Amino acid sequence: MARDLTTLGMDPRTIYRKCLPGGPWQRLLPGTILLHNGNPTRRQRALAALLYGGPRAMITGAEACRWYDLRVPEEFPAQDIHLLVPHERRVLSSEYVIAERTRRLPGAWVRHGIPLAPLVRATTDAVRRIRAEEPVGHLLVEAIQHGHCAPADLASELDVGTKRGTAVPRRLLKEWTDLRSVAEIRAKKLSAQLTTAPSHWNAGIRAPTGFVGRPDAWWDDVALAWEIDSFEFHYSRDDYARTLRRNNRYAAAGIRIVQTLPASIRDSPEQVLRELEAAYAAAAARARPPVYLAELAA
């Protein structure tokens, strides 16, 4: 901070000259000086924002989600840093910092030495600031699947504070009560065009040998499973191994399975419909295996 340099005895005019274009230093934010003239690192920009925000300031929104290692869609501004600051502090937005005074200042989580708003708060602060459904949906899915945020907690956070900008995320979370990703939302809409729509979504399936799986969609009359397998959302190395084990359980139980990538639902819906119709016909032509809904076993 510039005041720290003056406390150390440096003349304010010297500080000003060193921050002029071509000088050895640069001003990042009001009163915040970077002691070199190269491009600031992401960490330096974050620390400068926190110094500008003052005591108890923390990063929220899309930038906080990035520090939590979520994959943030490119539609969210890459340079802005959204700060939460105590309501009693008079901090104005400046340069790349969006300063938000709040009476609901949460306890900070520190990641990589950076104080962040809890992930539920950071995610909802991010999606409030963009209106496009696709990137909002992708970030919510990231928070749910990779950040382990419960959809109910995200919805509750949207219910408090300002309602501005919450219509899209609120609607998506409501639609996801029974469905687990944006791709499954599209799948449910597409399946309405089938001759026979799925009888259940995300229902547990058992065989005499035990639990088999919880397919995205299920036709109970013919024991047909439909899985929306997304490399983008689901496939880490461990996820892939779990998928192989799941498919082996389906095969051992005699269940027919259709696997579809989300991109196919988006780009080739007619082809997906043909594959599902053919799979249903093949499943109906064989003897139904002795599998049943897990809920019926209770």
**Segment 263-291, tens digit of pLDDT:** 788 889 999 999 999 999 999 999 999 99
pLDDT at 160 over 80: yes
pLDDT of residue 261: 86
Q: What is the DSSP string of 216-285?
A: SEEETTTTEEEEE--HHHH-SHHHHHHHHHHHHHHHHHT-EEEEE-HHHHHH-HHHHHHHHHHHHHHHHH
205-207 and 58-60 strand pairing: unpaired
Distance CA 253, CA 251 (A): 5
pLDDT at 12 over 50: yes
Q: Both tokens of residue 31?
A: 């009163």
Q: What is the mean pLDDT of the chain?
A: 88
Angle, helices 119-127/151-159, rounded to nearest 10 degrees: 60
Closest CA relative to residue 202, chosen from 182, 225, 186, 169: 225
pLDDT of residue 221: 97
pLDDT at 141 over 60: yes
Superfamily of domain 182-297: VSR Endonuclease (3.40.960.10)
CB 199 within 8 A of CB 221: yes
User: What pTM did the predictor assign?
Assistant: 0.66
pLDDT band at 234 (very low <50, low <70, confident <90, very high): very low
Q: Mind listing the pLDDT tens digit for each residue in 106-127?
A: 999 999 999 999 999 999 999 9
- The domain ranges of the chain are 40-175, 182-297
Helix (H) or strand (E) holding 17: helix 12-18
Lowest mean pLDDT of 17-21, 80-84, 281-285, name the range: 17-21
What percentage of residues in the chain have a pLDDT greater than 90? 64
Distance CA 257, CA 225 (A): 5
pLDDT of residue 91: 93
Q: Compute the average pLDDT of residues 158-180.
A: 83
